[in-house]
Structure 1
Amino acid sequence: MIRVLLADDQALVRGAFAAMLGLESDIEVVAEVSSGDQVVAAARRTNPDVALLDVQMPGLDGLTAAADLRAALPTCRVIVCTTFGRPGYLARAMAAGAAGFVVKDAPPEQLVDAVRRVHLGMRVVDPVLAAESLANGRSPLTDREREVLARAGDGGTVADLARTLRLSEGTVRNHLSAAIGKTGARTRAEAVKVAEDNGWL
């Protein structure tokens, strides 16, 4: 029996996945959580073989939760399942140790197949997204540029960002300027949008 943990902030989606997987004779859903910061605790309680994680959740996002889960429970294989099929998400999911990456609009049988294949030790990646990821390459942003740009997306002045990130205003300006240049944007708002659209944030 393949023991599965589901993490998705949308109860309807989570329930649909649980019902679909529950129809399979060799799969058992052992835990369902609605936020990324509940993943590790639920996994420690239930010891799943496979965790199916959404990307955008409250608390920790699914990519951070994937890395934390791999560190806490290395035997649990992770599949990232998202509505947002962005190449940058794929690269970040693989860097976080995910064994699979599927989009939510894939046919149900593909999701079930992904759970089985990942449990057997294989990698499963949406082929269209894999091709896009190869074509677009890796994120051009450094970790610090990504952090500054992500915070900039919440609004606020350079001084606000500097206080929040505990950096000097000059350093924040430098990181924002570099991020704007690397995304080919004209403004920081445009840079945030480009980075979000590519899954770099």
Structure 2
Amino acid sequence: MMKIVIAEDQGMLRGAMSTLLSMEENIEVAGQAGDGEEALRLILSLDPDLCVMDIEMPVLSGLDVAERLKAEGSRCRVVIVTTFARTGYFQRAMRAGVQGYLLKDAPVSDLAGALRTIHAGGRVISPELAYSMWEQENPLTEREQDILRHLAQGSTVGEISGALFLSPGTVRNYISEIMQKLEAKNRIDAVAIAQNKGWIET
């Protein structure tokens, strides 16, 4: 019997997924979580074989949870179920050791089949999402990502300067470099491009 936890912040979808997967042979839904923190707590207490998780959830994202589980050496295999074919998300999921990366609109029978493959030690990636592997790598350095995150929060150059211990001129140079790399029209456009690609978290 395969024991799984389902983590999805949309209650109706979570309930439907749980009901349908419970009807599949040899699958037991041991727990359900509405946010990433609850998912992490359930996984650590229930020790399931797999966790089926959405990416964008409150408190902790599915990718945050996957990274925590990898750091703690958890045996739980992580399966991301998403609507987002974003390069940055996909690359981060692979670094976190995620064993499944699937589209939400796939039939439950396909999901159940993928879970069995992953439970047996395989890895399953939706073909539509696999194309992300060949898309452009994140061109932004860690420092540039930090600055973009501050810009996304509405911080001024002065505020970023103080937070990151850089001179205002250096911050402006970084912003100029970011805009060139992303071919952005302005700072707001740069933030939007990076978020859409999954290069900074929304």
Task: Tell me the TM-score normalized by structure 2.
Answer: 0.89
Deviations 1:4-59 (A, max 9, x none): 11111111121111112111121111121111222322111110111111111111
Gaps (5+ residues) in structure 1?
A: none
Compare 78-87 and 93-102 and name the one that shifted more.
Answer: 78-87
Distance 1:29 1:73 in 2: 22
User: 3-state DSSP class of the match of 1:200?
Assistant: coil
Q: CA deviation at 1:115?
A: 1.2
Q: CA deviation at 1:167?
A: 3.3
Change (3 A) 1:147 1:26: farther
Q: CA deviation at 1:156?
A: 2.8
Q: CA RMSD in A?
A: 1.9
Output aligned runs, 1:85-124, within 5 Å: 85-124=85-124
Change (3 A) 1:44 1:160: same
Higher CA-based Rg: 2
Task: Tell me the TM-score normalized by structure 1.
Answer: 0.89
Partner residue, 2:66: 66
- What count of residue pairs does the alignment treat as equivalent? 199
Stretches of 4+ aligned residues off by more than 6 angstroms: none
Q: CA deviation at 1:176?
A: 3.0
Amino acid at match of 2:93: A
Partner residue, 1:84: 84
Output aligned runs, 1:19-34, within 5 Å: 19-34=19-34
Partner residue, 1:155: 154
Distance 1:82 1:26 in 2: 24
Q: Contact between 2:9 and 2:34, CA under 8 Å: does it hold in 1?
A: yes
Gaps (5+ residues) in structure 2?
A: none
Q: Contact between 2:87 and 2:132, CA under 8 Å: does it hold in 1?
A: yes
Partner residue, 1:168: 166
Q: Contact between 2:85 and 2:132, CA under 8 Å: does it hold in 1?
A: no
Do residues 142 (structure 1) and 141 (structure 2) align? yes
Q: Contact between 2:90 and 2:132, CA under 8 Å: does it hold in 1?
A: no
